[in-house]
Amino acid sequence: MIDVMIIVNGETRCASVAPETTLLALLRDHFGLTGTKIGCDVGDCGACTVIVDDQPVDACLMLAAQADGRRVLTIEGVASKDKLHPLQKAFEESGALQCGFCGPGIILSAKALLDQNPAPTRHEIRDALAGNLCRCTGYAKIVDAVSEVARVYRSEQSRG
């Protein structure tokens, strides 16, 4: 067994896991954070996207041991106590999700993008979301929602 300590959504958490345990299994099975979804489990679909030290990664392709000592943000840590994150709000308002299974991963990919680049072009948004598959909506509304949040960010910034 391997002892790991990771900072999940701001909270330090420890577990003793089998060496082959993925970060995805650690989050879901050991920490009960089931907002991170299991899709393809081989890094194609992005349903398990979480942010590790400011970078979006597929939790299914990272061992729990690789994440030892790192900061991990999951969908459970995106909203503040009483308020949805602007991305979540925009997804809700523009109907960007249907079944919702891809949603947590897409929100985290989009958040990582906007944190690094608050004014992405539509092309940059599509590129940042290329690793997240949605089988319901066809992506247009998803890209619309992210664009809308970026537009609000920009106008807030220009107002100072």
Partner 1 sequence: MLLAKHGRSAKILAGGTDLLADLKFATQVPDLVIDISRARDLSGIAVTDGGLRIGALVTHSELIASPLIRDMFPALVDAAHSIGAVQTRNVGTLGGNLMTCLPSMDSGPTLLALDARVTAASASGRREFALADLFVGPRKTSLGADELLLDIVIPTQNFGKPAGFQKFGLRKGQALALANAAAIFWMDQSTGRFVEPRIALGAVAPTVIRAPRAEAYLRGRSVTLEAMVEAGRIAATEAKPISDFRASAGYRCDLIAVLVKRALQDALALAQAKQPEAAA
Please count the other Cβ atoms lying within 10 Å of the Cβ belonging to residue 66.
Answer: 14
Phi-psi region at 53: left, alpha or beta (left = phi > 0; alpha = psi -120 to 50): left
State in angstroms the smallest separation of the CB of 93 from partner 1. 25
Q: Is 52 left (phi over 0), alpha (psi -120 to 50) or beta?
A: beta
Pattern of binders to partner 1 over 87-126, x per CB under 8 A? ----------------------x--x--------------
Q: How far is the CB of 49 from partner 1 (least distance, A)?
A: 6
Binding status of residue 128 toward partner 1 by CB under 8 A: yes
What is the distance, to the nearest Å, from the Cα of residue 91 to the centroid of all Cα atoms in its chain?
14
Which residue of 56, 77, 103, 120 would you call a contact of partner 1, by CB under 8 A?
Answer: 56
Go through the chain and tell me how many residues it has: 160
Told to check if 77 binds partner 1 by CB under 8 A, we report: no
Report the distance separating Cα 77 and Cα 10, nearest Å: 8
Stretch that binds partner 1, among 49-57, 79-87, 90-98, 141-149 (CB under 8 A): 49-57
- Based on the shown chain and the rule CB under 8 A, indicate whether residue 136 belongs to the binding site for partner 1: no
Return the SS3 of 130. coil
* Cβ atoms within 10 Å, residue 158: 7
Interface region with partner 1, contact rule CB under 8 A, candidates 6-14, 27-35, 48-56, 76-84:
48-56
Scanning 6-14, 44-52, 90-98, 134-142 for contacts with partner 1 by CB under 8 A, the matching segment is: 44-52
Please state at what angle helix 86-93 crosses helix 103-116, rounded to 10 degrees.
130
Judged by the rule CB under 8 A, the positions of this chain that interact with partner 1 are: 19-20, 22, 41-44, 46, 49, 55-58, 60-63, 65-66, 109, 112, 127-128, 130-132
